[in-house]
């Protein structure tokens, strides 16, 4: 195909059409001169110039080096680990065109917006792209000015792009676990990539994913035809996430507590069913929270609006089923609350992992109840009985996530070890007092001493035994608490020796212990229709005879309260991090960011990360030169937004500063 066919006859100095709402800033001639951001340079120079970052995160540098040395590689990095830079930096170094295969349009569009903000020429070819934009993209492709081309696997397999991909420097496959049957999200089209890639001979391949099991890794290498690949496997732990798992007594009230710690910040609340989503969203809105519901039963426009508002920071909280999240790249999600226990540890890791992609602290709170696991089992077997293999897998999944939820063991350690890695990461400083960022290590959840745990468990199990499997967990709690209800009197439970036996421990604790005993298999829930009955198991009977060991944890209510007191109530956590003196500036910069983002038609976090606003608030730069030295500010961003930022730092109102022209 000759380039002119794509150019039409209007070559020259005309402004290129706008591709996705971004202001056209360059002419064709400018582009032939090649933009400054992708001048031939070392990876570290490109990192600084285009993205404004001083140093690579773990394994980023190695993967870039592999690509530049034409070596295939597999990159496994947790969410927020910075996978996109692994293939964007080779393009920014001037190595040539990088082709990125990505499974979702929303993911592609977000990445394209971010790459363009960094000054790279990027486009995603997909069905939502207008004709004019598509023509432009193909022009850029033809004259070699494109840095990054995103396509879906279907599009690549269709074959019409094949003759146009000269000068390919790298074939990158994002969400590469989609190629494997063993992972979640299997996509059959991913299986056809290999034969396409084979036609590009020596062009290096880079497969990237956050899903880390060794089996999936092997499968990716085989299915994508990676040739003696360098395996760059990162540590799965996300140290900036603060994990908590606490018994649920009121989902709305507990979610609200977390939300109140993060005024005006973004968060996600996951619930199990559509109905629970509606109820929770309703309760939060009533409490004055800026929240919206999101589930598959809502009309597409309603869902699209919620997603769009959330990404563009016009909405603080989305209450959703797990249908929400794929393709949400908002990097400053400050908390993820699970109102129910998720399906598996893998699911939890993925859903909670949407918090804190920018590396700043974020809260992940799981509210558990043993009944959640029953619901998962019921949903899994709704279409008939499972094969013995599936049944065993389901048992294991539910047991593991149940254990995560109730075992009084460091949550960071448990998650990391689940993925077969040691905790803490080798080489990191050993921490004798634990991770410092989970409810257990923060001392909010305490483990009962072994002997006390056994005695407590025995009391509960014998109460359940006396109820003869004819009552639910609620009645067992009432009996142990010594609540004189009609039900207790009618059944004569108020005359049982176990009546009021655990009165002093508090209802929340007793409820949680029953859940913990269910998860550990000493008690079980037997379902009949809509009722569930508490029964005792063989292991429970054995424990009452003094055989076996049990672990019980208690949540120290006061710990969370005192922690809350240490924060300035009016400031968001991100603002609080900069210190009281700079909070006002941080908030004004946030307003500026929102205005600039709206003008550029991109989400606010694409303009600047929260961490960049923090750096500016602390440093208060007075010149372009000092501004460029700050984290997250490359040359392009400084040129585009620097004048406005400096004006706000100097005291101008954001609304006024936003309408200032960018520097030439
Ligand atoms: P992933 O795709 O692995 O979840 P991203 O590529 O979206 O992660 O990166 C997460 C965030 O971290 C992005 O906002 C990105 O700009 C930022 N980031 C990436 N690399 C670095 C780095 N070396 N230094 C600072 N921030 C980085
Ligand atoms: Zn811990």
Q: How far, in Å, is the centroid of ligand 1 from the Cα of 299?
A: 33
Q: In the numeric block, which tokens belong to residue 131?
A: 């004709």
pLDDT above 70: percentage of residues in the chain: 89
pLDDT at 631 over 90: no
Give the nearest ligand 1 atom to 174 CA: 2
Ligand 1 pocket test target in 57, 82, 115, 148 with most atoms within 8 Å of CB: 82
Assess whether pLDDT exceeds 50 at residue 7: no
For residue 577, pLDDT over 80 is answered with no
Query: What's the pLDDT at 564?
Result: 41
Pick the residue whose CA is nearest to atom 25 on ligand 1: 53
Residue to substitute in 80, 266, 330, 610 for testing ligand 1 pocket (most ligand atoms within 8 angstroms of CB): 80
CA of 82 to the centre of ligand 1 (A): 3
For the CA of 83, the closest atom of ligand 1 is 3
Confidence of residue 328 (pLDDT cuts 50, 70, 90): confident
Q: Is the previous residue joined to 424 through a cis bond, with omega within 30 degrees of 0? A: yes
Q: pLDDT tens, 488-545?
A: 999 999 999 999 999 999 888 898 899 889 878 899 888 777 788 999 999 999 999 9
Contacts 24+ apart (CB under 8 A), 372-378: 372/272, 372/340, 372/341, 373/341, 373/398, 373/401, 373/402, 373/518, 373/519, 374/525, 374/527, 374/532, 375/272, 375/273, 375/340, 376/341, 376/343, 378/527
Which pLDDT value is given to residue 79? 83
Q: CA quadruple 243, 249, 252, 258: dihedral positive or negative? A: negative
- Ligand index nearest the alpha carbon of residue 241: 2
CA 449–ligand 2 middle distance (angstroms): 18
pLDDT above 70 for 8 = no
Between the CA of 323 and the centroid of ligand 2 the distance, in Å, is 29
- CA of residue 265 to ligand 2 center, whole Å: 25
Summarize the confidence of residues 165-176 as an average pLDDT.
92
The tokens for 260 are 């109140």
pLDDT greater at residue 568 or residue 535: 535
Closest CA to 174 of 121, 92, 106: 106
Please tell me the predicted confidence (pLDDT) of residue 430. Answer: 57
| pLDDT at residue 167 in the model | 83
The 3-state DSSP class for residue 283 equals helix
Q: Would you say residue 370 has pLDDT above 50?
A: yes
Question: Which residues does 287 contact at the CB level (< 8 Å), separation at least 6?
Answer: 252, 256
Ligand 1: nearest atom to the Cα of 609:
14
Alpha-carbon span 22 to 295, nearest angstrom: 31
| pLDDT confidence tier of residue 212, bands split at 50, 70 and 90 | low
359 Cα nearest atom in ligand 1: 12
Closest CA to ligand 1's atom 16: 82
Q: Do 598 and 586 form a contact (C-beta atoms < 8 A)?
A: no
Instruction: Grade residue 566 by pLDDT with cuts at 50, 70 and 90.
Output: very low
Write down the pTM of the prediction: 0.76
Please state which of the ranges 44-58, 278-292, 388-402, 502-516 shows the lowest mean pLDDT: 388-402
Per the listing, tokens 């404004």 go with: 52
Determine phi and psi for 150, rounding to 5 degrees: -100, 130
**CA 406 to centroid of ligand 2, rounded, Å:** 14
pLDDT in tens, 596-615: 988 888 888 888 988 899 89
Lowest mean pLDDT segment, chosen from 145-149, 312-316, 384-388, 458-462: 384-388
Task: Name the band, by pLDDT with cuts 50, 70 and 90, for residue 583.
Answer: confident
Dihedral angle sign, alpha carbons of residues 612, 618, 623, 626 = negative
Q: What is residue 571's predicted lDDT score, i.e. its pLDDT?
A: 56
3-state secondary structure 483-547: CCCHHHHHHCHHHCCCCCCCHHHCHHHHHHHHHHHHHCCCEEEEEECCEEEEEECHHHHHHHCCC
Who contacts 200 (Cβ-Cβ below 8 Å, separation ≥6)? 165, 168, 171
pLDDT of res. 184: 62
Structure tokens at 84: 């996109």
Q: What is the pLDDT of residue 260?
A: 95
Cα-Cα-Cα-Cα dihedral of 170, 174, 176, 177, to 10°? 170
Average pLDDT, the chain: 85
Structural domains of the chain ordered from first start:
3-233 (3.40.50.300), 241-439 (3.40.50.300), 447-555 (1.10.10.10), 573-663 (1.10.150.80)
Rounded average pLDDT over 134-147 = 91
Ligand closest to Cα of 408 equals 2
pLDDT at 15 over 70: no
CA 85–ligand 1 middle distance (angstroms): 7
pLDDT reported for residue 364 = 98
Spatial CA neighbour of 404 closest among 396, 415, 395: 415
Tokens coding 505: 């421990």
The atom number, within ligand 1, closest to the CA of 210 reads 3
Q: What is the Å distance from ligand 1's center to 37 Cα? A: 18
Which among 18, 21, 15 has a CA at the least distance from the CA of 598? 21
Q: Are 258 and 319 within 8 A, CB to CB?
A: no
pLDDT at 110 > cutoff 50: yes
Q: What percent of the chain has pLDDT over 90?
A: 50
pLDDT category at 24 given cuts 50, 70, 90 is very low
Summarize pLDDT for 415-460 with one digit per residue, the tens.
988 888 888 877 776 566 689 999 999 989 888 899 999 999 999 9
Instruction: Identify the nearest ligand to the CA of 415 by its number.
Output: 2
What is residue 314's three-state secondary structure? coil
Ligand 1 atom at minimal distance to the Cα of residue 111: 7
Task: Starting from the CA of residue 632, give the closest ligand.
Answer: 1
Ligand nearest to the CA of 64: 1
Residue 327: which pLDDT band, with cuts at 50, 70 and 90? Answer: low
Tokens of 221: 């290498």
DSSP 426: T
Ligand 1 neighbours (beta carbon < 6 A): 53, 56-57, 60, 77, 79-85, 331, 357-358, 609
Question: Ligand 1: which residue has its CA nearest to atom 19?
Answer: 82
Whose alpha carbon is nearest atom 17 of ligand 1? 82
Token pair 């018994």 is found at: 247
Pocket test for ligand 1, best of 54, 78, 85, 331 (most atoms within 8 A of CB): 85
Spatial CB neighbours of 601, under 8 Å, sequence gap ≥ 6:
20, 21, 22
């Amino acid at each position: 195909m000759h380039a002119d066919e794509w150019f039409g006859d209007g070559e020259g100095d005309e402004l290129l059409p706008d591709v996705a709402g971004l202001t056209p800033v360059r002419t064709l001639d400018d582009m032939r001169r090649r933009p400054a951001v992708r001048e031939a340079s070392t990876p570290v120079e490109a990192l600084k110039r285009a993205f404004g970052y001083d140093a690579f995160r773990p394994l980023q540098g190695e993967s870039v080096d592999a690509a530049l040395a034409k070596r295939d590689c597999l990159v496994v990095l947790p969410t927020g680990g910075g996978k996109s830079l692994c293939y964007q930096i080779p393009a920014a170094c001037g190595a040539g065109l990088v082709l990125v295969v990505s499974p979702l349009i929303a993911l592609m569009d977000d990445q394209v917006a971010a790459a363009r903000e960094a000054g790279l020429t990027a486009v995603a070819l997909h069905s939502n792209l207008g004709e004019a934009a598509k023509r432009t993209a193909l022009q850029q492709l033809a004259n070699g000015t494109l840095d990054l081309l995103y396509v879906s696997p279907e599009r690549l397999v269709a074959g019409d792009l094949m003759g146009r991909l000269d000068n390919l420097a790298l074939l990158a496959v994002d969400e590469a676990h989609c190629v494997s049957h063993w992972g979640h999200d299997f996509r059959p089209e991913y299986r056809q990539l290999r034969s396409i890639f084979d036609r590009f001979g020596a062009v290096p391949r880079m497969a990237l994913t956050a899903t880390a099991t060794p089996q999936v890794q092997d499968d990716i290498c085989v299915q994508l035809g990676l040739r003696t690949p360098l395996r760059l496997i990162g540590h799965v732990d996300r140290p900036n996430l603060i994990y908590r798992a606490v018994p649920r007594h009121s989902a709305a009230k507990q979610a609200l507590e977390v939300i109140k710690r993060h005024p005006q910040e973004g968060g996600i609340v996951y619930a199990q069913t559509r109905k629970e989503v509606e109820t929770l969203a309703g309760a939060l809105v009533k409490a004055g929270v800026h929240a919206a519901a999101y589930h598959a039963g809502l009309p597409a426009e309603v869902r699209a609006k919620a997603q769009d508002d959330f990404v563009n920071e016009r909405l603080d909280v989305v209450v959703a089923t797990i249908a929400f999240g794929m393709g949400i790249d908002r990097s400053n999600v400050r908390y993820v609350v699970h109102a129910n226990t998720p399906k598996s540890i893998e699911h939890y890791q993925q859903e909670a992992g949407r918090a804190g992609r920018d590396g700043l602290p974020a809260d992940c709170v799981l509210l558990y109840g043993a009944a959640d696991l029953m619901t998962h089992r019921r949903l899994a077997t709704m279409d008939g009985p499972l094969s013995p293999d599936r049944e065993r897998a389901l048992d294991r999944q539910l047991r593991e996530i149940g254990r995560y939820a109730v075992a009084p063991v460091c949550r960071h350690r448990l998650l990391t070890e689940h993925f077969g890695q040691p905790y803490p990461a080798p080489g990191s400083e050993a921490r004798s007092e634990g991770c410092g960022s989970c409810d257990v290590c923060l001392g909010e959840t305490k483990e009962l001493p072994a002997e006390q745990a056994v005695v407590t468990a025995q009391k509960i199990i014998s109460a359940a035994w006396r109820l003869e499997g004819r009552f639910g967990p609620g009645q067992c709690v009432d009996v142990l608490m010594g609540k004189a209800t009609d039900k207790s009197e009618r059944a004569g439970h108020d005359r049982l020796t176990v009546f009021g036996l655990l009165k002093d421990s508090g209802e929340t604790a007793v409820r949680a212990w029953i859940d913990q005993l269910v998860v550990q298999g000493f008690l079980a829930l037997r379902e009949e229709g809509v009722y569930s009955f508490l029964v005792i198991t063989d292991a429970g009977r054995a424990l009452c005879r003094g055989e076996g060991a049990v672990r019980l944890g208690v949540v120290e209510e006061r710990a969370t309260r005192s922690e809350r007191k240490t924060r300035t109530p009016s400031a968001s956590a991100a603002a609080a991090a900069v210190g009281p003196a700079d909070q006002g500036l941080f908030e004004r910069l946030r307003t500026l960011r929102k205005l600039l983002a709206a003008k550029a038609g991109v989400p606010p976090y694409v303009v600047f990360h929260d961490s960049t606003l923090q750096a500016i608030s602390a440093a208060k730069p007075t010149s372009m030169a000092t501004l460029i030295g700050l984290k997250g500010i490359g040359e392009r961003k400084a040129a585009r937004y620097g004048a406005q930022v400096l004006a706000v730092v100097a005291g101008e109102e954001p609304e006024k500063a936003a309408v200032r022209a960018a520097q030439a």
